[in-house]
A and B are shown apart, each in its own frame.
Chain A
Amino acid sequence: MEKKNLHLTLKIWRQENAKAKGRFVTYKINDISPDCSFLEMLDQLNEQLVDKIEKPVCFDHDCREGICGMCSLFINGRPHGNDSGITTCQLHMRRFRDGDTIWIEPWRSAAFPVVKDLVVDRSAFDKIIQAGGYTSVNTGGVPDGNALPVKKKNADLAMDAAACIGCGACVAACKNASAMLFVSAKVSQFALLPQGQVEAKERVAAMVSRMDALGFGNCTNTGACEAECPKEIKITNIARMNRQYYISAFG
C-alpha cells in the first residue's frame, strides 16, 4: 500500500508570555508521513525552526500515549482534533489530507491563562481537587482491602468516571468554559464507592464552590464536553453530581 506524504499549511498561535499579545503565524511543512503523530509533526516543525535559528513552538506534552493529560491543543476548532476518544498525542496525520490548512490554538478559558504559545496554566484543576477530591485517610491504619465489598457494577462505573485525565478538553469545548464534567467525574467516583460516603456532602459542596470561585462558567447542558472528552466521560456524571449537590444543600 503506497502512502503519500503530506504537505501542509499550519496556522499556529504564538504568544511570548502570559501578558503579551498573541497572533497566528503561518508555517509551511512538507513531506509529513501519514503514520506520524500530530505532535511528531510539530517536532519536525520545531527542528526546522531551530535550523533557521528561530524559537520553536511551545506546547505541553509528556507521555505521548494518551494518559498523562498534558497535551492540550485546539486543532481546527476541536480540542484534541478531529478524532474521537483520543488526546492530541494520539492523533495521527492520516486524519489529514495533503494540502490541508491546520489551525492550532491553545485551550481558551479565563481559568486557563496562556503561559506561552500553546501552553496554558491548568492549576485551577489542581485547586478544585485540593478542595475535596479525596477521602480523608492517612497512610496506615486502614481496613483490609476486602473488608468492604463493592458491587462490580458500581466499581466499573466509578472506574469509568475515574478515567478522567484532567486535560481540560471539556472546559475548552464548552461555550461557557464550565468545568462541570471534570468536577463531576471526581465527585461521581467517590459517590459510587462506599469509601466516599463519609464525606460525600462536604466534598461536593467544597469542590463546586471552589470551581465557581476559580472563574469557570456554568453548565447549560450543551454536551460538548462529553463529545470532546478523550476518555469519553459521560455527562450522566454531571447529573449524579447535581443530585449529590442538592442532597448536600437541602438533604
Chain B
Amino acid sequence: MITLDSKIPEGALAQKWTEYKAHQNLVNPANKRKLDVIIVGTGLAGAAAAASCGELGFNVLNFCIQDSPRRAHSIAAQGGINAAKNYQNDGDSVYRLFYDTIKGGDYRAREANVYRLAEVSNNIIDQCVAQGVPFARDYGGLLDNRSFGGAQVSRTFYARGQTGQQLLLGAYSALSRQIEKGSVKMFTRREMMDVVIVDGKARGIIVRNLVTGELEKYAAHAVVIATGGYGNVFFLSTNAMGSNAGAAWKCYKRGAAFGNPCYVQIHPTCIPVHGDYQSKLTLMSESLRNDGRIWVPKKKEDAEAIRAGKLKPTQIKEEDRDYYLERRYPAFGNLVPRDVASRAAKERCDAGFGVGETGLAVYLDFASAIERLGKKVIEARYGNLFQMYEKIVDDNPYETPMMIYPAIHYSMGGIWVDYELQTTIPGLFAAGEANFSDHGANRLGASALMQGLADGYFVLPYTIQNYLAAEIRTPRFSTDLPEFNEAKKSVEALIDRLMNIKGKHSVDYFQKKLGKVMWDKVGMARNAQGLKEAIEEIKAIRREFWQDVRITGATDEFNPELEKALRTADHLELGELMARDGLLREESCGGHFREEYQTPEGEALRQDDRFMYVSAWEYAGDDREPILHKEALKYEEIKVAQRNYK
C-alpha cells in the first residue's frame, strides 16, 4: 500500500529550495563515478538531466525511441519559455510568475514545487544563452520578450517560432558533449518496456531494441523517467506519432502512483480536423494570439453561408463579427489561458456559429495587426507558422484569416512525484511532462519548456544526489538477477500474446476507436453519464483489441506495427483511468470541465471544500479497481480565489 509523502521542506516558501540544497546529502566526486543513472527520454527534461548528471560525474545511460536524441517532441514547441527576469521592467518577479502559474493551474498545483520552478526559471535563460541558443534579440543586442496567455507581463523568451527546437538542440549539444566524454552512454531506437524493482527500489529497465526486436536489460542505482505526456491516448493530438504513455504506464503498474490523470490540456489554436485519414493535428503557436484576433460571425446565417462556401470571411463586415474573447474577457482578451479560450471556441461552435466545412473552426485574424504593423513585421514574427499553415491548408493567412480549433496538446497529469521528483517507488524519478507536478489543472503557455528544463538542469541533479548518497556502498547490479529475468519474461509473454492474436483489425483501428470515445466523452466537456459510458466502452474496446488485433511482421525485426500495438495496449488501460479520475472529480477546474459544475456564465466552478487535492491512483491488479490516494493541497502563501480573467 502506497503512502504519499510530498516531502515539502519546512520553512518559508521562498526559502524552501535554498534550505533544501543547504542540507541535502551530496555524493563526493570519487563515488559519483561508481553510481549509474538510467534516464529514459531525451527531450528537454531527459537530455538536460542526462547532460547535467554526466557533468557531475555520474555514469549515465540515456535512452530514446527515435534514431537520435535530437528528435524528442520538445523540439516541436513553438512559442517560447517563461522566466521571471523582468528585463522589460513591467513588474515581473519570481513571486508573480509563481502566482500566475498557480492561478493558471486553477489552484490545483503544489505551492512549493511551483515556487521553485519560478525561482530557477531565470537560471534556465542564463544557461541556454551560454550554450549559444539564438534567442530573439532587440536592436540593442539584449534579449527580447513576448506575451503569452494568462499573464499581464511580457516574460516569454523565444527563438522565432522554434523555441522548443532551439532549447532542445541546446540540451542535445550539452548531452553530445558528455557522450563524447564517455560520461553518458546513448542508446537510440530503444523503447522502455518495464522497470525492474529489486528489494523495493528501482534498479533497472527492460527495453526493446526497435531495430532487432531484442529485449535488453540495463541496471542502475536510480532510474529517471522523462518520457513525456499521454496525449496520444486520444489518437488525434499535437503530439508526435511516437509519443506514448508506455514507460509511465509501466511505472504505474509496478507501483508508482499516477497523479491527476484526467488533467489534459486542450490547446485552442490548432489546425482543424479535415478528414478521416488524418494522423495528427498541427498546433499553431499561442504566440499568434499576441497579434491575431479570434472571431466568428455574429449572425448564424452568415456562419451558415460560410460553411456552405457562399461567403468568404473577408466579406463579413466588422460590425457583424463577434470577437468573443474580447467581448467576454476584456482584461485579457485574446490572451486568456488555454482552457478558457478552448471552451469559448467550443461554446460558439456548438451554438452554431462555427466556420469551415465542418463548422468546427473559428477565425484567427491578422488583418488589423497587418494594418497596424505592416506585413513585414508580422512576417518576421510568425513567418514560419504562416508558411506551415499554408502548406497544410493551402490558404494564405496573410489574406484570409486562419481557421483554428482546439486539440489535445499536453498532459498536466502524470506520474505522481514528491518535492524531490521521486515517485512512490524509491529510486524511480519522473521529470518533465511525464510527472504531474507543476501545472495543476491547466498549464500556461511557455511553461512546459520552463518545467522540462528546470527539472532536468536544476532540480533533478540535486535531488537525485540526495537519494544516491545512501547508495554509495551498493555495488553495480548484475542484470542476471531474478528480478530482471522475471521482468524480461513478462515482456516476452506480453509480446507473444499480442503476436498470436492474429485477429482482423489493425492497431490503428483500435487506437482510433479509443480516441473517439476519449474525445467525445473525456475531452473538452465531460459529464457523469458520459464518463460512466466511456469507462464501459473503453473496457469493451480493450476486450476486442485483445481478441482481434492483427499485427503483421515478426517479433525479431524492425516492426512499427508491434510498437504501436504495445503502446495502444497501454493507452487502452490509461484511458479508463483518465475517465475514472474525471468521474471522481465532481468539479470543473482548468482543463477538466464537468458540465454539471459551471457558473451561469459558463465558467469553470471548482468545489474546493471537496476536491482541493491531488488524486494519486495506485494500481491494484488488472481485474481490480485502482486505489485512490489523496494529497491535500495547502495554500499558505496564496489566497485561493475563483479565476477571473474578465
Contact = CB atoms under 8 A, between A and B. Distances in A.
Of B51, B128, B132, chain A has the most CB atoms within 10 Å of the CB of B132
A149 B71 contact: no
Interface in B584-603: none
Given A65-B76, A67-B165, A142-B129, A149 B309 contact: no
A134 to B, nearest CB: 4
Contacts of A140: 123, 127, 457-458
A67 B162 contact: yes
A56 B76 contact: no
Interface in A57-93: 58, 60-70, 83, 85-86, 90, 92
Nearest to B177: A134
A47 B75 CA distance: 28
Interface stretch (A97-105, A114-122, A215-223, A241-249): A114-122
B550 A130 contact: no
Interface in A124-164: 125-126, 129-131, 133-140, 142-146, 148-152, 155, 158-159, 162-163
Interface residues of B, number: 80
A68 B66 contact: yes
B125 interface: yes
Interface stretch (A6-14, A35-43, A170-178): A35-43
Chain A interface size, as a band, is 35 or more
A130 B180 contact: yes
A65 B282 contact: yes
B242 interface: yes
Given A65-B388, A134-B177, A146 B87 contact: yes
Nearest to B166: A162
B30 interface: no
A94 interface: yes
B162 A56 contact: no
Interface string B513-553: 00000000000000000000000000000000000001011
Given A63-B73, A133-B176, A146 B142 contact: yes
A45 B138 CA distance: 49
Interface stretch (B98-106, B323-331, B467-475, B555-563): B555-563
Contacts of A166: 68, 70
Chain A contact residues: over half helix, strand or loop, or mixed? loop
Contacts of B553: 55-56
Nearest to B173: A134
Interface in B220-243: 240-242
A51 B506 contact: yes
Interface in B392-407: 392, 394
B177 to A, nearest CB: 5
A17 to B, nearest CB: 7
Given A92-B392, A150-B141, A139 B240 contact: no
Of A58, A136, A145, chain B has the most CB atoms within 10 Å of the CB of A145
Given A159-B160, A166-B68, A136 B127 contact: no
Given A35-B275, A125-B68, A163 B162 contact: yes
A44 interface: yes
B439 to A, nearest CB: 22
Nearest to A57: B560
Given A44-B277, A146-B142, A155 B126 contact: no
B541 to A, nearest CB: 18
B557 A17 contact: yes
B179 interface: yes
Interface string B262-292: 0000000000001101111011000000000
Nearest to A55: B553
Contact of B129 (A122, A148, A163): A148
Interface string A14-52: 001100000000000000010111011001100101110
A90 B131 contact: no
A17 B213 CA distance: 12
A213 interface: no
B561 A56 contact: yes
B69 interface: yes
B67 A122 contact: yes
A134 B277 contact: no
B24 interface: no
B139 to A, nearest CB: 5
Contacts of A50: 506, 550, 552, 561
Nearest to B391: A90
Contacts of B160: 159, 163
A129 B172 contact: yes
A29 B375 CA distance: 42
B279 A39 contact: yes
Given A126-B70, A131-B180, A144-B126, A67 B75 contact: yes
Given A63-B240, A69-B70, A149-B137, 15 more contacts: A35-B275, A44-B277, A51-B506, A56-B552, A58-B560, A68-B71, A119-B558, A130-B176, A130-B179, A133-B173, A138-B52, A139-B127, A140-B127, A149-B140, A159-B134
Interface of A: 1, 16-17, 33, 35-37, 39-40, 43-44, 47, 49-51, 53-56, 58, 60-70, 83, 85-86, 90, 92, 94, 115-116, 119, 121-123, 125-126, 129-131, 133-140, 142-146, 148-152, 155, 158-159, 162-163, 165-166, 189-190, 193, 195-196
6 contacts: A50-B506, A68-B66, A83-B391, A137-B131, A139-B51, A190-B132
Query: Would you list the 6 A-B pairs with minimal beta carbon distance, nearest first?
Result: A149-B141, A134-B173, A142-B130, A159-B134, A158-B134, A130-B180
